Structure 1
């Protein structure tokens, strides 16, 4: 069965932190998330404008509704703004003996207080002793430990002090420690090293503790969960994007979407290969140097974002044969064609090269394909042929055409390049050409 986690936290109306961040993180890690809302905030990327605390009785009703129906494997707390809310959360977690991760949220990363000063001591006395781990950032660790943190040595001392207050384990997160987290558990210090990614983001602390909660719910050790949280948050920060005037929310599902896009590209090229390999007459379109079909992910920016056939497609016993498998970065040559086309029209994400002949060009025209060309002899010195040639052809016709060709040069085979929105589209154009070429 799918593992299930719970977050007891506040709702961020801007969608960047709190419940929103926790549920997105749980989903990205394959865990079902449940939520107990403690406060509703009027919040955006620039900060917290106001907040409304949910009555403790109703917080308990939410909890009892969930726990009475759903098995919870691990729970985390986030925004617990008042002493009364801290107490009810502690009582409920203790009653159900749930593994607890505490994110001692005190202020929003975008600005604004989320924990009343009088609630800090209640959190220390009532909630910390129930936790498997507490995950303060440097500012929160200073408040809990009562000491100033300037470096990793100070953070280690603070973690030990917080543990002595009742927490079983402590992770001082390293956004202010050059990217290194300090894990203190069972009397030992472990450095969870990472890289410090510059730029203000919103929701990283919530996301970090939510990753740990999700991983613990799946049976991971705390050390495994801590390393996973570090990597996950770094990816989420790297893939963050501005949606407002303030701090950019971290992107919890960015890597999931990126992996999905890459899978779809590879699958599309594999389907295109099946189409051309089973197409009668396609082998006659394979150039002496072989042909290839490539496709990029949306917003591709480098050769590593373009997939193609490793080793190309060659003619073997008069039949098309893919020498290698489909992989990203497999062909810088055809990748540059795709990247250049996408510069002009980001929907045109695929290309294939086929053998040049006058008959093939005539067939392309008869099929209604738009055609453009470039001349290698016009290429400026120091320029890449593919980037310059494709750009020159596109500029000549004012759009990305179906076909771009050149008649070759010294040591360079003449070539036709088909362009389209995906690999299946360019493969379809190639099979149409092969079928229509029978008249010649």
Structure 2
């Protein structure tokens, strides 16, 4: 009996020395956060089951808190989410309330963990601003990292005369004087009850239009009627489109005239300082008027780069043939209803002193050209590539030629001649 009591005493000593088998804990993840970021708080009785239903209270350390409800007979684990609205160091305390009896041993009734709340860094990310031109509207947006950006202000220096800085960080206006203008700006951001400030030193260079790079500010298209749309008869001569450009600066203007998505003629012109320019579609090649329906014309500018849209001019070709007084052209060969070898062929006609000729080929019964080409001489060689792509042996085709003067006016036309490839 004495030995048994001694054994029991030793076991009690060891149990007291070892302490509880499991602990009551509270953790916070992450333990360092920015203002208004979420913190996940975890409360656990670890491996020990509570003996009866109870409540664990959690104090977030900022005069607010929450609770975790525990059911009897199971391990109690619970998550709470919290957002701190001010910077500081906070102690989170979880306390097990009565009648929480955790396991057979009394565990510590509370546990704590720490959370550090800081303000996110604020940085001005704008490092350079675009140059300005006197007399040209200017706009630039200052940028800073993060969200909830507050008011911008000018701290030191001066903006170019004619420009202002808005509280939203826009620099807008029309510069009035040339020069390089250095200045310092700052921006604020609320961080709970605190305010974070960031700043930067920037500059704007202002030049005159004469020394600035070429800049196109407007493109307006019109026909001879002064409007961007017109209706014409089939094969009506002299159709032209005009492009009125507003620009400043000096530089190379490059682009092309486009009809129905296909390039008609290139544009390549060096512009010196001015305000306006009129470009006109060339006399050759002419705007096509031999296909009925709507056609769209654009002046596409590839240099300088610009953000303005390219407007369209639209002309509608009716089925009525133009009644212009035309000089007959006399084809020389091949003869009418000639049977030709299926190979490259020359088509000839008597010259009339025209600036350019248009040769058109038609499939039998079709009113739209199968193929067409411009030439300055009274002859045209049908290339083998076009022959193989457009023409078939045994089929009947027709051809005719039109002549145009240096202004692009239709002055002559031949009767159609028929031929067949063997």
TM-score normalised by length of structure 1 = 0.23
TM-score normalised by length of structure 2 = 0.24
Larger relative contact order (Cα-Cα within 8 Å, sequence gap ≥ 6): 1
In proportion to residue count, which structure has more helix? 1
In proportion to residue count, which structure has more strand? 2
